[in-house]
Homo-oligomer: A and B are copies of this chain.
């Protein structure tokens, strides 16, 4: 399977190293992601928290995604050299998830896929609440690609730019809570998935105040990363996620 990079063996009790990368370049958002990641992680887990450099300050569309991926792939390689047992892409668009699975030996988890898998385990029908309206069809297509189209009642937006979550947390919270209640009342959603990494810290309060179980993708992804390391299963290198073929201009194995 993977020979170019080694993945730490999943021996019981040994410390796990989970690389959590924020593909956008906003350090304060990485800090929030980090707090959520560390709160979610087991005692045995070290969170290797990284902010991508030179990428857009927020990811709010296909172009932002595209501009963030090369730097993110480089960080993934670097993190493997530091012994990462798994990688978490902490952006709800799961940008570059497939490319990351090609370049990494360790499993790569996107917070949207993680959250959707959890939602499918804990409910029959769920909704998603995200930031901008323009992200709604992007997330719908993503949820569909994860096989949850029939389970997802609706993807809702609070019409807020991603960075406003940090700039105006109270206003953002109020909008989010209202949208979660709308999902409960109008969609008959049994669970609501938060559609942006920047919402992570509001998760528990939303659950408590609305009565709807709310799922944060960072939390789900970190614990799923630990689970995969513990299982000892890694990305298959036969087929779609095989190592990139070595070529001029291609992803270099020694890139860091």
Which of A's residues lie within 8 Å of B, judged by CB?
Answer: 1, 12-13, 24-25, 40, 42-43, 54-58, 60-67, 69-70, 73, 96, 98-99, 101-103, 107, 109, 113, 117-118, 120-125, 133-134, 136-138, 140-141, 144-151, 161, 184, 188, 190-191, 211-213, 215, 219-220, 223-224, 226-228, 230-236, 238-242, 244-245, 247-251
Contact = CB atoms under 8 A, between A and B. Distances in A.
* 7 residue pairs, one from A and one from B, having the closest CB atoms: A147-B147, A124-B240, A190-B239, A223-B227, A62-B98, A62-B99, A190-B236
A235 B188 contact: no
A33 to B, nearest CB: 16
B190 A241 contact: yes
B138 A64 contact: no
A26 B90 CA distance: 34
Contacts of A65: 99
Nearest to A118: B233
Contact of A244 (B43, B63, B99): B63
Contacts of A231: 40, 118, 219-220, 223
A23 to B, nearest CB: 11
25 contacts: A40-B231, A54-B249, A62-B98, A62-B99, A67-B250, A67-B251, A107-B121, A118-B228, A120-B147, A121-B224, A122-B234, A122-B235, A123-B235, A123-B236, A124-B239, A124-B241, A125-B240, A140-B150, A141-B145, A149-B150, A190-B240, A213-B238, A223-B226, A223-B231, A224-B224
A97 to B, nearest CB: 9
Contact of A233 (B122, B238, B239): B122
Given A24-B249, A58-B247, A118-B231, 9 more contacts: A61-B99, A64-B251, A121-B228, A122-B235, A123-B241, A124-B141, A191-B236, A211-B238, A223-B231
